[in-house]
Structures are given as structure tokens and as C-alpha cells.
Amino acid sequence: MRFPRLLLCLGMWALCGSAKPTERKERVVREAPLSAREHDDAQSFDYDHDAFLGADEAKSFDQLTPEESKERLGKIVGKIDEDGDGFVTVEELKAWIKFAQKRWIYEDVERQWKGHDLNEDGLVSWEEYKNATYGYILDDPDPDDGFNYKQMMVRDERRFKMADKDGDLAATKEEFTAFLHPEEYDYMKDIVVQETMEDIDKNGDGFIDLEEYIGDMYSQDGDADEPEWVKTEREQFVEFRDKNRDGKMDKEETKDWILPSDYDHAEAEARHLVYESDQDKDGKLTREEIVDKSDLFVGSQATDFGEALVRHDEF
């Protein structure tokens, strides 16, 4: 498939356009919970398993024998220890947890990378991306579906250039990830805010006023009465969103709204895992300390699945 990201965007726009008037459009970018399970180590370590591995991988470990589970955990430790000094720090563990929780992002990037690195030089240039994504579409100046593809391309080019740190118009895989998923990178947050404001700011004055704010998430569509949540959002705008009380949100106020500084669950979990496993209390973990507490990190149970045991190449 040559146009996965474009089709995804169009699909999401169509979904938003066809949503029921009382359905709420969510603009706020929040960290997903590390696990749907309760964090209560006195009952089980299920939350820790989901946090450390991601929920899907945690299930695969439950099908392993304890010996196999420890062996694979030991291999993971080598990946977490980024500087190769033989110790896992809180920061390294935090980075791993964030990776495990967002594995789907990297899988998405891998899929799209194959369709855009056309000359297979290990980089995706803007020209490659443009040709692969917009090529034949731009040959039709008046597409039947009504979308302004040229405007979309200009917006994509701006984001691509923002993600391209060295300015050579050729994205490394990390830069390409920042382009596809800008909400995951601090240096891309301004472009997330800018694109959001452009979507909502219908009168083009560079601000989001109350009616634009409400109109983005709710279409009255002839209904006489607003849902209660809409009334609450009006109050939220006046009391909390519009911090300087000038009747509109500027760039910084919009950023505070859509990119709130939330509690860092990954860091809290990393500190918890280190505290529970750090036998010599030096503030960092060895491979042995982690494997000794394998029940906390990954868990496993003896099974009779034999050849049916789940295998994953990355481990």
C-alpha cells in the first residue's frame, strides 16, 4: 500500500465529519496508562509486567516456563543498558518502558519506512515521501473527493522540515518517526500546537475563541439544547483555558490545553522497579538483580504447551 498515512488522515477526517453531534472530539494528547490492571504488588505483579513489557508481550511471557522467561529477560536487559556499562539506571529503565508502551508507533514507522525509502539508502527524503504519498493525486487539479491535497502537502512539508533536525531534507528513521508521530517528541510540540490551531481557528486571526473551541468538538445541528458536557467545556474555557481572560486562547494557552504536563507514569514505575530490585541499594540494577526478581519484571508460569510456546524474534 503506497499511501497508508494519507488514507489514515482522510479516514480520521471522515470519521470526525460523520460523528454524531453529541460526540466529543478529543484534542488533548495524554500519556496512555501503563496497564489496565490495578497496581497492587500485594495481590500480583500484573501491572508491573504490563508496564515493563507492554500488555501483549506480557501475555506471551505467561506462556513460558520460568527458565525460558528468565533467559529472555536477560536478553532484554542488554537492550535496556544503552551505554553498555553493565548497569540499568532509572533513566534507562524509563526509556525502555516508554518504548515498550509505544511499540505500535515503531511498528507503524517500520511499515511506512519500507514504502517511502524508495532508493533504499537508509533515509527518506522529502522528494521520496512527496512522490510516494501525493504523486498521482497531484496530477489531478480537481479531485472528486473535495480534499485540498496541495494544502495537505504544504502542511506535511512544513512538518517534515521541522522533524529534519539537520536540515538536509532527508529523514533518518528517528526523524521520520518524529514526522509521523510529532506528539511523541518535545522538539515537535510547537508544530502540533500550530496544526491544531489552524484546524480550529476558522476566522484566521491566529487565536481560538470560545465559539471556535466549542465548534471544534460539538456541532449543534439543529438541537435546541446543548449536552451537559458542552456547557462544562464552556466553563472550562472561561475559567481555565483562557488564562489571561482576553476571550481567546493564544499559542501558549493552546499548548497548555492540548499538551498538559502530566504525571510521568513511566518514571514512577522505573523508580518502583529499581527500588524493589536493587539488592545492594546503589541506585542502579545489574543483570543479576533484575533476573533474580524476574517475577516482578515479567512473570511466567509452567505450561505444557511444548512447541506451541510463543516466540518473538526481538527477544
**pLDDT tens readout for residues 246-286:** 999 999 999 999 998 877 899 999 999 999 999 999 999 99
Q: Which of 294, 268, 290, 270 is nearest to 280 (CA)?
A: 290
Domain count, the chain: 1
266 CB-contact burial (10 Å; exposed 0-12 / middle 13-18 / buried 19+) = buried
Contacts of 265 (CB under 8 A, 6+ apart): 31, 33, 34, 51
Q: How confident is the model at residue 144 (pLDDT cuts 50, 70, 90)?
A: low
276 inside domain: yes
Give the structural domain span for 142: 67-207+250-309
In a domain, 7, yes or no: no
| pLDDT at position 143 over 80 | no
Alpha-carbon separation of residue 284 from 13, 25, 108, 187, 278 (angstroms): 46, 43, 32, 29, 7
Average pLDDT over residues 84-92: 97
Report CA torsion sign: 28, 32, 37, 38.
negative
User: What is the band of 92 on the pLDDT scale with cuts at 50, 70, 90?
Assistant: very high
Q: Is residue 136 part of a domain?
A: yes
- Cα–Cα distance between 71 and 75 in angstroms, integer? 7
Examine residue 242 and state whether it is found in any structural domain, yes or no: no
CB environment 92-109: b (16+ within 10 A), e (fewer): bbbebbbebbbeeeeebb
pLDDT tens sequence across 15-64: 333 333 445 567 888 777 899 899 999 999 999 999 999 988 999 998 89
Judge whether 198 lies within some domain. yes
Please report whether residue 226 resides in a domain.
no
Phi and psi at residue 290, in whole multiples of 5°? -70, -45
Q: E-strand spans in the chain? A: 124-125, 170-171, 208-209, 248-249
Least confident of 106-120, 133-147, 190-204, 231-245: 133-147
Confidence band of 126 (pLDDT split at 50, 70, 90): very high
